[in-house]
Structure 1
């Protein structure tokens, strides 16, 4: 296991550790600052740029993984099937332009991870659609318009209020929920839970016992295939394309979800959890044996340059509930 300070704090926040009570005065400061910032955008003291095409924002009210990126990929495919020309704009967490690349950064499967971050390149690979990284979301959105996009998906953009939006979707991890229900730094919330009453739809990843607003939708992350990291070849889930026990590595927001999925598939795995967006090195994957190494699609973007003859990627896709698909199609009809 490799857990930095940030990961240990996140575990404490979801576990409601007693020592976090000392940070509650700072939580009040954080909430005041967030409310003041939101008010500035509402009353015009800060500028909101509105695109001439519809904008759908997909985001979280919590820190840590919720399954948001697979849902963005599903939305992109669904929009394409409905006749739209979508593009994806992202902050590109973990990436930094420069070294021959500037913002807005047009991401392809060959863009260096150090520039794009892992999730934007994964989305470019999974969707084949225009993906732009830019900390200035309106500037990134304008770059997508120049590519002919007629609808925009803002990945992890709920708190980026400078970009106007027509639809706000919030993704919640059904297993972890909202932790101790406190805002930063006393808990995992980016915004108070009252924000859920303001968004257009809440989507819960997996089963949950949370009390959520009426009309909440669900989706699941379904494993769909294995991919060889060595040559990109795809294989069905069953039979397993590898034998015996494996090492499973995950540098995502909720590694436990990935390890549980492998267990459901009958894979005997030694679990190795890393911090979210961890930059893997060959030493991280040197286990001094000849066992296969299994990873997520997000982590594979950071490991594809390594020589892993027995490296495997578990590809998953979001499967939203029928009621959400019907709700979305109704909203899309009103956006044309």
Structure 2
């Protein structure tokens, strides 16, 4: 239902407009308070790059953050990552991730980024505290924030917005009548717009999510996803249909598709009930980091990597690298 409302296919959004105007007013006042200097943003001693979005729901933000971390590592830089840690609840903040940190403590996306990149990751509702924790634990050249475009208390050097190229901005209204955290005009003030799928508009960097081989969660075995049989597909991400579409593009026709809420925590019994012993439970990598502690032998995940074309990708990385190597 919410997808129909946000896409403009249902007139029910009209009933929510009063709340949207209130949301928009508060959002504008918060940003204005920092722009005019009424409130002071904290500036890190190392550059900060925000990877965020203007809309609620999955746009591909975390794959872009992973791509950026890995690309900067290949250039000899030492990035660290900070996140709000949605879906997690730590005993204390800031929380520095290690190999024993669970998704219930840190949230699924920070754990995924930590496991994929090996970069230091810190979680805190107050991003400044997370940045300070990274700086205290070792040398880093740059901080990547996974989300946080609207967290203006943390000053940033580069703003990157990820846009869903198919859904774009829905009906264009603020939450809850529409999907917008900020209106589309905000794109004029950011440094780069990366468009995930669909058709990139002028000045935007096109991106695709390239799936790799399926990985067995329990054993680590890899094989082409198309060789899996009797697939039960599940996804607990911001926009589950994207995952199911990816599977079909890989030649997989699931016997069942199950969508969960984004950042949902799973129980062992809940997931074991989804697929029988002769079926394959196939999920996203973001789901797999939560399922790994109790995975069965027939559970697999499909990793995806952000793919950005040159020369736009190189130009973006060059501008970030220059900031890292310039005196503060």
**Smaller-chain TM-score bracket:** over 0.9
Tell me which of 162, 175, 190 is aligned to 2:181: 190
Give, in whole Å, the separation in 1 of the partners of 2:183 and 2:274. 42
Shift of 1:65: 0.1
Alpha-carbon distance in 1 for matches of 2:123, 2:108: 11
> 1:5 — aligned with what?
none
> Which of 251, 260, 263 is the matching residue for 1:274?
260
Structure 1: how far apart are the matches of 2:4 and 2:78?
A: 39
State whether structure 2 residue 276 is matched by structure 1 residue 289. yes
State the match for 1:230 in structure 2: 218
Cα offsets for 1:288-311 (capped at 9, x unmatched):
622010000000111111241100
SS at match of 1:93: coil
TM-score using structure 2 length? 0.93
Q: Is the 8 A contact 1:109 1:122 kept in 2?
A: no
Which residue is 1:247 aligned to?
232
Shift of 1:35: 1.1
Retained in 2: the 8 A contact 1:86–1:129? yes
Are 2:17 and 2:177, in contact at CA under 8 Å, matched by a contact in 1?
Answer: yes
1:13 aligns with 2:3: no
Cα deviation for residue 225 of structure 1 reads: 2.0
Number of residues of Structure 1 aligned to a counterpart in Structure 2: 320
Alignment partner for residue 157 of structure 1, among 143, 148, 159? 148
Question: Structure 2: which 5+ runs fail to align?
Answer: none
- Looking at structure 1, the residues matched to 11 and 258 of structure 2 have their Cα atoms a distance apart, in angstroms, of 27
Q: Tell me if structure 2 keeps the 8 A contact 1:226–1:314.
A: yes
User: CA deviation digits over 1:1-46, x for unaligned, max 9?
Assistant: xxxxxxx424421244201111212222211111111111122222
Is 2:35 the partner of 1:47? Answer: no
Counterpart residue number, 1:122: 112
SS in 2 for 1:317: strand
Q: Unpaired segments of 5 or more residues in structure 1?
A: 1-7
Q: Paired residue for 1:313?
A: 301
User: Aligned partners of 1:197, 1:116: CA distance in 2, in Å?
Assistant: 33
Flag as ranges the 4+ runs of structure 1 deviating above 6 A: none
Of 180-189 and 285-294, more deviation after overlay is shown by 285-294
Deviations along 1:56-83, whole A, 9 cap, x unmatched?
1000100000111011001000001111
Question: Against the structure 1 CA distance between its residues 225 and 109, is the aligned structure 2 distance closer, same or farther, given a 3 Å change threshold?
Answer: farther
Specify whether residues 82 and 288 from structure 1 end up closer, same or farther in structure 2 by C-alpha distance, changes over 3 A only.
closer
SS of residue paired to 1:305: helix
CA distance in 2: counterparts of 1:127 and 1:30, whole angstroms = 36
Q: TM-score, normalised by structure 1?
A: 0.91
Counting only pairs closer than 5 Å after superposition, residues 139-178 of structure 1 correspond to structure 2 as: 139-146=129-136, 147-178=138-169
1:110, distance to aligned residue in structure 2 (A): 2.2
- Output the CA distance in 2 between the equivalents of 1:261 and 1:15: 25
Alignment pair present for 1:56 and 2:43 = no
Q: Partner of 1:308: helix, strand, or coil?
A: coil
Structure 1 residue 137: Cα displacement: 0.4
Counting only pairs closer than 5 Å after superposition, residues 203-218 of structure 1 correspond to structure 2 as: 203-208=194-199, 212=201, 214-218=202-206
- Could you say if the C-alpha distance between residues 22 and 128 of structure 1 is closer, same or farther in structure 2, counting changes exceeding 3 Å? same
CA contact (8 A) 2:158 2:320 kept: no
**What SS does structure 1 have at the residue aligned with 2:294?**
coil
CA 1:109 to 1:257, structure 2 compared with 1: closer, same or farther past 3 Å?
A: farther
